[in-house]
Structure 1
Amino acid sequence: MKILAIDTSTAVMGVALLDEKKIYAEMTTNLRKNHSIRLMPTVAQLFDEVKWSPNEIDLVAVAKGPGSYTGVRIGVTTAKTFAWAQNIPIVGVSTLETMAYQQHSFPGVISPLIDARRGQAYVGLYQQRNDSWSNLEYDRIILLSDWLQILKKREEQVLFVGDDVSLHQTQIDEFLGEYATYSSSPFNLPRPSVIGWLAYQQYLTGTVDNTFDFTPAYLQLAEAEVKWLEKQKLAKG
């Protein structure tokens, strides 16, 4: 099964071509540049390099968020358009789960983290136990201080994963002390090949998304929507 994997949910833009046995091509950048301009040329470049054509793809995998509102939308819209045009299934994968899975051999629990500003963070909690990969706490946006209280009650080693973790390391250390462990930088970025792999695992269980109904996992309203709702409340008195 040939898979196209796409991720534009954060500052990272990633594209991978793979099947169930091998990664054929993968490109990842961690630059705050316009994903909408760079994504399709990157896809075309990888197709050209591995000598695949779009009609050979059997499955589209995409990071569904959370992350940048605009970034998530770009990746999901591109993936949906490709899946619709080729009449093939699409599977959305949590950006947070992707980040966590890259450290699935860690013996404790894994907390991927993306900064959401105003003291908030996008977080989830995952663990590999024996042969079972589990989501222990669902992905959410939450005040980081509240999240750290949840983790503190577990009294177990937590591995924090993500480029944004460094922004909050002082606060994390204050709450968790020796329970906090940090991923090294090469493993902080979500890899598109991992998105493709996780999507393939979901596909094997019969879990695919409806191309037309599939929507990103923003986990919060866009700032413009929040302001619009506030104006509506004021208008109604």
Structure 2
Amino acid sequence: MKRLAFDTSSQTLSVALTEDTTLLGKIDLNIKKNHSITLMPAIDFLMTNVGFAPSDLDSIAVAKGPGSYTGLRIAVTTAKTLASTLGIELIGVSSLAAIAANACVKGKVIALIDARRQNVYAGIYEDKQLVNQERHLPLSQLLSELSQEKTVHFTGEIDGFRELILASLPQAKFIENPERRLPNAYQIACLASHEKAVEVDYFEPEYLKKVEAEEKWLETHAHDETTDANYIQKI
């Protein structure tokens, strides 16, 4: 199984090519760049240097969220276009699951993505398995829920939250190796082996939170989501 995997859900861009579980090549960029400009050249460079033609690919794996709205749309749109054009399967993998899998520690791993204003996207994992539902929530609420845990490892976008975490959870540990905290397309490729392929036409990012424009619209418009699932089309 030859698989192309990539993630643009955060500042980091990560692209990997695998054959079964063997990593053939990977590119990581952890600098502020426009992913819409850098993603396809990175894919082309990696494919060329590994010696793959597009027709060699059997599968596309992509980070489906949560994360940056723009970054997720770039990755998902690219993945859908490639999978549809090549006629191959498409698999979506949680961005948080890929971060947690990259931690490589035993016990509970809390993968965080900064959602701004002291809110986070969070997933609690153990042995690469999701312990409960991934959520968007205030960091304070998450820390309160973890107060009885003996040991937890935090990873992902944690630098801005260290003091707050330790104030509530002095027993908390952190994944200190920066490379272990970043999104990793190789982990996305590996995790995809345990996921089912999606319907390409209906695949969408999993934001876990409404976009700001949608939230503001809802504040001034009465709406019952149970009766009109397409309400946002009225904007």
Provide the TM-score with structure 2 as the length reference: 0.91
Q: Distance in 1 between matches of 2:147 and 2:31?
A: 33
Q: Distance in 2 between matches of 1:122 and 1:216?
A: 14
Q: How far apart are residue 33 of structure 1 and its match? A: 1.2
Q: Is the 8 A contact 2:155 2:181 kept in 1?
A: yes
Q: Distance in 1 between matches of 2:116 and 2:184?
A: 23
Q: How far apart are residue 166 of structure 1 and its match? A: 1.1
Percent identity over paired residues: 39
Give the aligned partner of residue 174 of structure 1: 167
Give the aligned partner of residue 139 of structure 2: 144
Q: Distance in 1 between matches of 2:215 and 2:37?
A: 27
Q: Distance in 1 between matches of 2:182 and 2:129?
A: 20
Give the aligned partner of residue 57 of structure 1: 57
The question of 1:218 aligning with 2:201 is answered no
Q: How far apart are residue 83 of structure 1 and its match? A: 0.4
Q: Distance in 2 between matches of 1:119 and 1:190?
A: 21
Per-residue CA shift, 1:13-40, capped at 9, x if unaligned?
1111111141111001111210001111
Q: 1:156 aligns with which of 150, 163, 166?
A: 150
Per-residue CA shift, 1:152-189, capped at 9, x if unaligned?
13x22100001x21101111001110x20000212010
Per-residue CA shift, 1:193-237, capped at 9, x if unaligned?
1101110222xxxx111111111110011112222223435xxxx
Q: How far apart are residue 103 of structure 1 and its match? A: 2.2
Give unmatched runs, 5+ long, in structure 1.
none
Give the aligned partner of residue 95 of structure 1: 95
Give the aligned partner of residue 232 of structure 2: none
Pairs within 5 Å for 1:4-23: 4-23=4-23
Equivalent pairs counted in the alignment come to 222
Q: Distance in 2 between matches of 1:46 and 1:19?
A: 14
Bigger helix fraction: 1
Give the aligned partner of residue 117 of structure 1: 116
* SS of structure 2 residue aligned to 1:138: coil
Q: Is the 8 A contact 1:108 1:156 kept in 2?
A: no
Pick closer, same or farther for the CA change 1:87–1:126 going to 2, 3 Å.
same
* SS of structure 2 residue aligned to 1:190: coil
Pairs within 5 Å for 1:67-106: 67-104=67-104, 106=105
RMSD over aligned Cα atoms: 1.3
Give unmatched runs, 5+ long, in structure 2.
223-235
Q: How far apart are residue 120 of structure 1 and its match? A: 0.5
Q: How far apart are residue 49 of structure 1 and its match? A: 0.6
